[in-house]
Amino acid sequence: MSLARVREFLDLIKFNHTLFALPFAIFGGALAAHRPDGWTGRVQDWVGILLCMVTARSAAMAFNRLVDRSFDARNPRTATRHLPAGRLSVASVALFTAISALLFIASTLLFLPNVWPLILSVPVLLWILAYSYTKRFTSLAHFWLGISLSLTPIAAWIALRGNLEWPPLLLGLVVLCWVSGFDIIYACQDVEFDQSVGLHSIPQAIGVSNALRLAAFCHAWMMVPLVALGLVYPLGGIYYCGVIAVAILLFYEHSLVRADDLANVNIAFFQVNIAISLGLLFFGLADLLI
């Protein structure tokens, strides 16, 4: 496979968007690995977390492009994507999806003798793949996506500890509120198209103004489990500096978009949220290490 073709596949799955969820997987793993008497976890566990994160997301993104290709072709905003534009074939993307899915399942073997990642791999994969169909029947698709990404810190914790406790659940709730909120903002761009083809979204159901209010509500509620995580784990002052930084960035994100001006949606969606994800990881790890 040529380098140009590799770039096409990386662009297909928006590989740089891995930075949305990967920091939460790493942070969830760090919370699990950090103990009062030191750090636990094998190198292969961390390799497994990275591989599972990348391959699961690759499978989900490629599958989404497959099942939405007819809608993408009709939407001016997405008509230049790889499948509608003929830059990649349906067969090649289907093969890429299947390989990514199999690699995800295979990557869970790195956590053995902990069998839970392997046991849960197929249900998790089915859940995240099913997201691609949700806009066809429910306006709550944003929350399905939020749950999908919220599994990353929870899965990382299970992979390292083999159990489930409050810290990963709280961090997962943070991700759920965060992702659902910014996906609602992102969906505001496609209200007219969604209405014309019968797709469902919260902006399409309640209007852009109300959708932006709901997104703000999600992000406000995100702060509750974020603070609670620091209390339950517990974490210290450095972490709470990160919480304050996240709150400021969320306020800035919502200042960028208005119902009558969505020109800055991509800035709010990508740049600000990358800063939130990486920033929280930085402050969280610093708190654990110092």
Per-residue three-class SS string for 270-282:
HHHHHHHHHHHHH
Structural domain boundaries, residue 95: 3-289
Residues 135, 67 contacting (CB under 8 angstroms): no
Look at residue 61 in the predicted model and tell me its pLDDT: 96
How many domains does the chain divide into?
1
* 87 in Cβ contact with 8 (< 8 Å): yes
Q: What is the CATH number of the domain that holds 185?
A: 1.10.357.140
- Per-residue model confidence (pLDDT) at position 4: 80
The structure's pTM equals 0.95
Average pLDDT for runs of 10 along the chain of length 290: 84 84 95 91 96 96 96 94 94 97 98 98 98 97 97 97 97 98 95 95 97 97 98 97 97 93 85 94 96
